[in-house]
Amino acid sequence: MTDRAKRKLRFPYQMAAFFIRDLQIWLSYRLSLFLDIVGLVGTALAFFLLGLAFEGYIPPMLEQYGGYFPFVIIGIAFFGFQSNGLYGLSGSLREEQLQGTLEPMLSSRITPLSLSLATNTFSFLRTLVRAVLFLVLGALVFSVDLSSMNIPSAIVVLALSLPPFLALGMFSGAFTLAFKRGDPVQLVYGGLSVLLSGLYFPYQLLPQPLQWLAHAFPLTHALSGLRAALLSGASFSELSTQIIWLLGMGVVLLPLGIVALKLGHRKARQDGSYTQY
Amino acid sequence: MTAQEKILPKPLVSVRGLYKSYPAGRKFPWFRSKPPILALDGFDMDIFPGKIHAIIGPNGAGKTTLLKILWNLIQPDGGLIEFDRLADDDTVLVSGEERGFYYRLNGWANLVFFGRLSGNSRQETLSRATQLAERLRLSGILNRRYQTYSGGERQKLAILRALLQAPRLMMIDDLAKGLDPQATRELTDILLELARDGMSILLATHRLDLAAQLCDTITLIHRGKNIATGSPQKLSRQVFPHRRYRIVLSGDEVTARKILAGSITSDIEIKDGHLSAELAVSDEKALATLNLTLAQKGISIIELSPFEEELETVYNRLLQDSDSNDG
């Protein structure tokens, strides 16, 4: 069997390895586990109270969502997926460097793509659970109307948003490998996406040039599609714009991300800097 | 084919003319590039199957760079490395550093994680790890979190992890770093056992005593160059070509001094009425002539025993010679 074929066979084991390792480490920090739940309830409550402050007045732009709280809770519930993609790989690489586990890990000849996917497995599922909990909390405790939600549409939009998020994480990981600190992807993209992508307020409030710029962020289309699917029950055809944007971004960014990550690994090998941080 | 080629097996790894330099950063305030740091400078070496081979040298000589290049973690600038039918998984590197495992996980969980990364199931990893843990006398501690392990236990766990891959070549960087004598002895016993089973082991170490005790071959690396390779005895011969003996005599001191004048390499000491000194003679014939002369002059030899110089002396001489050759 060729080395390439062997590597493909290893991938399920590698996914399982990262998932179980991260679960075991997460469970070993019991206080953190408790604080995660407290944080989730606290965040939902804070935005609920903010929504209450404007009760009785719903800006026309938010009418389709039924108010500010339903709008923002979808944003904060699903923003975690971008954070995972964007910060997951570089954060994990840096942590492995600090712990001295990166070199033994690379000795298993894990490919850059497998590493990017596997290292995000646990945090992806954790974010998914958080997102579902946010929605359940929103619906049961804070009366968010999810009665018309279209789950298949939401799953498709979420699934299509993952490749571009993952690709951005690969760019970020490449910078971590090559330059250790000063990652412009996290700094510029991470910062701007929070401001422009309609996380806390509709991006249509922004001046026209910034609205155009907002279209360059996968998060804009992901959140817009998820809000439409979960709050208005939008069908696939009604979400075609978001789906095309996300699909196009995935097709373009993912191969570029893989190339960037390979270049990052090559630079680290040339400089002998895998263990430097 | 020469006689030597008939005797020597094909090397498992053959390294020829290996070069590696690292960028040294830029000078403030003008940001001109500093000259690169040369880590390996045309380095040559052969590693033979089933042997323990040590790389010794001062700090910064290029030992770790060499090991990481062989493990494909660092890309060389030039040179040739040939592996004799070695697949990716056949080579492992064990770092002497105490890090390298997850502190919050116990030994088993750590081993299962790294086993899975190499494509083994939990069951396969546990079954193999159980056998290896018994052999390395680690079974009793694997249920404990890694953060509670001693330095020796951590190094042994790193070796166990490496052995999970059933490698043909195990490279160990900084062997026995910070270990107490008992842990060191346990570790060296394990390495000797592995070599007896046919594994090739490449050690980078500052512990000259361990290198002399364990290794079939020693390579001395200095400023990125291989300045000497051979068995501890061969290296000793290279520096001290004459055969070395300790001699204890009884008889007239002045006469003894005259006879030994061309051969002694130490001061003559007088203890309990006997004279003792260290000799260097070119061959058996010269030694026989010396014996005869001493006997003719009425000086009796009480003891004559051959000895090799300590590796540390050989090491220091080779480094000095290399420095003086470099100007």
For the stretch B44-89, pLDDT in tens is: 999 998 899 999 998 888 999 999 999 888 999 999 999 887 666 6
Helix (H, G, I), strand (E, B) or coil at B212: helix
Residue A122 has pLDDT above 50, yes or no: yes
Q: With a CB-CB cutoff of 8 Å, which residues 86-115 of chain A face chain B?
A: 99-101, 103-110
Residue B38: CB partners within 8 Å, gap ≥ 6?
Answer: B19, B20, B21, B223, B224
Q: What are phi and psi of B143, to 5 degrees?
A: -85, -10
Contact predicate A274/A99, CB 8 Å? no
User: Residue B235 and residue B238: Cα distance in Å, rounded?
Assistant: 5
User: How many Cβ contacts (< 8 angstroms) between chains A and B?
Assistant: 89
Cβ of A13 within 8 Å of Cβ of B116? The answer is yes
CATH 2.40.10.10 fits B241-306, yes or no: no
- Residue of A13, A110, A267 for testing the chain B interface, max B β-carbons within 10 Å: A13
- The better pLDDT of the pair B1, A148 is held by A148
Q: Where do the structural domains in chain B lie, given as residue ranges?
A: 9-26+35-237, 241-306
Confidence of residue B30 (pLDDT cuts 50, 70, 90): low
User: Residue B273 and residue B284: Cα distance in Å, rounded?
Assistant: 28
Average pLDDT of chain A to the nearest whole number: 86
Confidence of residue B25 (pLDDT cuts 50, 70, 90): confident
Cβ of A13 within 8 Å of Cβ of B117? The answer is yes
pLDDT, one tens digit per residue, over B138-153 is 888 999 999 999 888 8
CB atoms within 10 A of CB B254: 7
pLDDT, one tens digit per residue, over A103-116 is 888 877 677 778 87
- The better pLDDT of the pair A255, A40 is held by A255
The pLDDT assigned to A184 comes to 80
Average pLDDT of chain B to the nearest whole number: 85
Confidence of residue B29 (pLDDT cuts 50, 70, 90): low
CATH topology classification for B9-26+35-237 = Rossmann fold (3.40.50)
For B65, the closest of A28, A100, A272 (CB atoms) is: A272
> What order do you get walking across the sheet with B78-83 strand by strand?
B37-47, B13-22, B78-83
Cβ of B117 within 8 Å of Cβ of A10? The answer is yes
Cβ of B100 within 8 Å of Cβ of A104? The answer is yes
**CA-based nearest residue in chain B for residue A274:** B73
pLDDT, one tens digit per residue, over B35-54 is 888 999 999 999 998 899 99
Confidence of residue B27 (pLDDT cuts 50, 70, 90): low
CA B158 to chain centre: 19
Which residue's entry shows tokens 């490496």?
B162
Cβ of A270 within 8 Å of Cβ of B75? The answer is yes
Contacts of A263 in chain B (CB under 8 A): none
**CA-based nearest residue in chain A for residue B20:** A270
HEC string of A170-217?
HHHHHHHHHHCCCCHHHHHHHHHHHHHCCCCCCHHHCCHHHHHHHCCC
CA B160 to chain centre: 21
Contacts of A16 in chain B (CB under 8 A): 116
The pLDDT assigned to B1 comes to 46
Residue A189 has pLDDT above 90, yes or no: no
> What order do you get walking across the sheet with B200-205 strand by strand?
B91-95, B169-173, B200-205, B52-56, B217-222, B225-230
CA angle B171, B176, B177 (to 5 degrees): 105
ipTM: 0.80
CA–CA min distance B224, chain A (Å): 15
